[in-house]
A and B are shown apart, each in its own frame.
Chain A
Amino acid sequence: MKILVCVTSVPDTTTKITFTDNNTKFNKAGVQFITGPYDDYALARAVELKEKLGASVTVFNVGEADAEPVIRKCLAIGADDAIRVNAEPIDAYFVAEQIAAVAKETPYDLILMGRESIDYNGGQVHGIVGEMLGIPSISPVMKLDVEGTTAKMTREIEGGKEDIEAQLPLVLGCQEPIAEWKIPNMRGIMTARTKPLKIVQPAGQDSLTAVANYEMPAPRGAVKMIPADEAETLIKLLRTEAKVI
């Protein structure tokens, strides 16, 4: 079984987001970049499937050289090799095109990624890749097992979940609790240094969207404190002042 795990390099979840150049560029200064948290779940499940069933796991990233620490960490966690498309991930369509190009050359049984990247929160790439390859896409997947050529999955839906079966190949957007995040051990870190990382040039240049500029949310007004023994006042204020109930 061949598994492709697509990962993003994104600002740590505790990052205070700021912009520079008149709000046209994300301010990378002092920002710690991490593997997308959802992508981490996808990778962890891929490594588990490899250990359980035998599989090769290839990590895939569209990014510039500064994404390599994230890729090396994925190799340290247990992926066998990696492909980096040397380009800025301009938009979802562009990234999907890169994944589809690689997958057309080498067929994968499973293409896994996070349900969404935590920077743009688009959650589009898996669906577009599925469309480009003409195979099903499912997201968000919170449980994944493979028996022969059948994948058994659980997907979260509004107010619940559903169990799904489908034939490989599939593209899946993953989320917890599909697997526990894995932390690389020393041996993994050492071997990751020599695992193959192929750098390829982008296929196609289709970007269908562009960010013109950014904006920060307006700060909320000062909090109005209500004494605990007058809690019922809150309900009055919510009705007469905030007018939300």
Chain B
Amino acid sequence: MSVLIFAELDEGKLKKSSQEAIFYGSKVAGMMGTSATAVVIGAADQGELATAGRFGATKVLHAADGKLNEPNGMAYASVVAAAAQQEGAKVVVLAKSSLGDAMAARLAGKLKAGLAPNVIELPDMSSGFRVKTSIYTGKAFAFNELKADVKILAIKKNTIATEETDATATVENFAPSLNDADFALRVTNTEKATGDVLLPEADLVVSAGRGLKGPENWGIVEDLAKALHAATACSKPVSDLDWRPHHEHVGQTGIKVSPNLYIAAGISGAIQHLAGVNSSKVIVVINKDPDAPFFKSADYGIVGDVFEVLPKLTKAVQAL
């Protein structure tokens, strides 16, 4: 009956978003009077796996078959479905990510589960099972009643503030039989930025728009991001102009982010851009145009030249 959480690895470590998912899942388990079990897939050492306990999981099922070393949404979904069956889980929690999204849908199909995407709060189980989700790209919220026997909750970043204890989880090997059909895709090449803070995972984001005037000027954006340990992002025109790669584009048709801090430099704040960032906790807008619509949605604003303001901010951060 336990609550099952899929916890994603990044280079052998539990991702921060997955720690949130484990904590969230353990809270749901508490509400249901049961325990939380995490499923981890891929190579990781026992010590790292046991840290799932710090966020509330009592048990970790570790699927370590070598075929699962590379992320694979279809195969991973089959593993989680097998784990859900073994544990009799009625609630499956995972963090939204490229991999998590791909898995959630396949899982919903396998388990005929009610899937709530973009969950932003703990469920209300006072009558039925109701979860609050973000819709219209953050322009509104919906309270979803999940009617199916099995429920899948895909949680957004910053849905819950984690608390840690010094508990450790017991780790069990989990080796369900794997289905060849799940390995039908052949990945021929992977290009991934290394060393950078991944945008969907980032607590702090420094984003810039056409006000930067050209890709050659991104140094001042990267400097501030580096000083803050933030991820860099950009507006749609910037990605359309190929000044920055598409995976940095935030907005209605790009990545949706919900960091603690979103700094927007030289972005006017079109409604489609706001949609992708408006669940950020704190928004800072820097623009030379005092009438830029983004100021209306900001917590802090600076009317000024980004070429002067950004280096000043970088210096101030370095002086902290």
Binding site for B on A (CB under 8 A): 11, 13-14, 17, 19, 37-38, 92-93, 96, 118-132, 134, 136-139, 142, 156-167, 175-177, 206-217, 220-221, 223-229, 231-232, 234-239, 242, 244-245
Shortest distance in angstroms between B131's beta carbon and chain A's nearest beta carbon? 9
* Interface hits, B140-196 → A, CB 8 Å: 140-148, 181, 184-193, 196
CB within 8 A of B106: which of A137, A160, A166? Answer: A137
What residues make up the interface of B, taking CB atoms closer than 8 Å to A?
73-74, 97-98, 101-102, 104-106, 108-110, 112-118, 130, 132, 134-148, 181, 184-193, 196, 198-201, 203-204, 228, 245-247, 252-253, 256, 260-261, 271-272, 275, 278-279, 281-285, 295-305, 308-309, 312-313, 315-317, 319-320
Chain A residue with minimal CB distance to B229?
A245
For the complex formed, measure the closest distance between the CB of B188 and the CB atoms of chain A, giving whole angstroms: 5
A197 smallest CB distance to B (angstroms): 27
Contacts of A220 in B (CB 8 A): 283, 297-299
Residue contact B304 to A228, C-beta cutoff 8 Å: yes
Q: Total contacts A to B, CB within 8 angstroms?
A: 266
Which residue of chain B has the shortest Cβ distance to A210 in the bound complex?
A: B145
Cα separation A235 to B275 with both chains bound (whole Å)? 25
Question: Main secondary structure on chain A at its contact with chain B?
Answer: mixed
Residues on A with C-beta less than 8 A from B304 are 228-229, 231
Nearest A-chain residue to B186, judged by Cβ: A165
Cross-chain contact B313 with A235 (CB below 8 angstroms): yes
| Minimal beta-carbon separation of B185 from chain A (angstroms) | 5
Given contacts A121-B117, A217-B139, A220-B299, contact A245 B317 (CB under 8 A): yes
With the chains together, A213 CA to B145 CA distance in Å?
Answer: 9
Please determine whether A232 and B312 come into contact, CB atoms closer than 8 angstroms.
yes
Query: Are A162 and B187 in touch, CB under 8 angstroms?
Result: yes
Residues of A within 8 A of B312 (CB): 231-232
Q: Which residues of A contact B271 (CB under 8 A)?
A: 13-14
Say whether B141 contacts A217, CB under 8 Å: yes
Q: Rank and list the top 4 A-B pairs by shortest CB-CB distance, nearest first.
A: A127-B105, A131-B109, A228-B304, A160-B192
- Whether A244 contacts B97 by the Cβ 8 Å rule is no
> Chain A: which residue is nearest B189 at the CB level?
A163
In contact, A127 and B309 (Cβ under 8 angstroms): no
Interface centre among A19, A136, A244 (most CB of B within 10 A): A244
A244–B284 CA distance with the chains assembled, in angstroms: 12
List 7 A-B residue pairs with CB atoms under 8 Å apart, sorted by A's residue number. Answer: A120-B135, A176-B246, A177-B246, A209-B146, A223-B301, A231-B304, A238-B300
Are B198 and A159 touching (Cβ within 8 A)?
yes
Q: Is the CB of B187 within 8 A of A163?
A: yes
Q: Which chain A residues lie closer than 8 Å to B114 at the CB level? A: 93, 208-209
Asked whether A119 lies within 8 Å of B135 as measured between CB atoms, the reply is: yes
Q: Are A162 and B189 in contact (CB under 8 A)?
A: yes
Best-surrounded residue of A126, A160, A165 (most CB of chain B within 10 A): A160
* A144 CA / B260 CA spacing, docked (Å): 36
* Contact among A162, A164, A214, A242 with B140 in the assembled complex (CB-CB below 8 Å): A214
- Chain A CB within 10 A, most for which of B101, B184, B301: B101
Assembly CA distance A92 to B115 (angstroms):
9
Give the distance in Å from the alpha carbon of A119 to the alpha carbon of B137 in the complex: 7
Taken together as a complex, chains A and B put the C-alpha atoms of A245 and B105 apart, in Å, by 35
Give CA–CA (A122, B185) in the complex, Å: 23
Hey, which chain A residues are within 8 Å of B130, CB to CB?
Answer: 212
In the complex, the chain A residue whose C-beta lies closest to that of B304 is A228
Measured between C-beta atoms, what is the minimum distance from A177 to chain B in Å?
A: 7
Contact (Cβ within 8 A) B105 A210: no
Q: How far is the CA of A220 from the CA of B262 in the complex (A)?
A: 14
Taking the closest CB of chain B, its distance from the CB of A181, in whole angstroms, is: 11
Contact B137 A118 (CB under 8 A): yes
| Chain A residue nearest in CB terms to B181 | A134
Residue in B118, B198, B245 whose beta carbon sits within 8 Å of that of A121 in the complex: B118
A208, A223, A231: which contacts B113 (Cβ < 8 A)?
Answer: A208
Q: Is the CB of A93 within 8 A of B108?
A: yes
B309 — which chain A residues lie within 8 A by C-beta?
228, 231
Do A235 and B316 touch across chains, with their CB atoms under 8 A apart? Answer: yes
**B190 touching A162, Cβ below 8 Å:** yes
What residues of B have a CB within 8 angstroms of the CB of A124 in the complex?
A: 104-105, 108, 115, 117
Complex: A162 Cα to B132 Cα, angstroms: 33
B98 CB contacts on chain A under 8 angstroms? 156-158
Check A223–B136 contact: CB distance below 8 A. no
Given A127-B104, A131-B109, A223-B300: A161 and B191 within 8 A (CB)?
yes
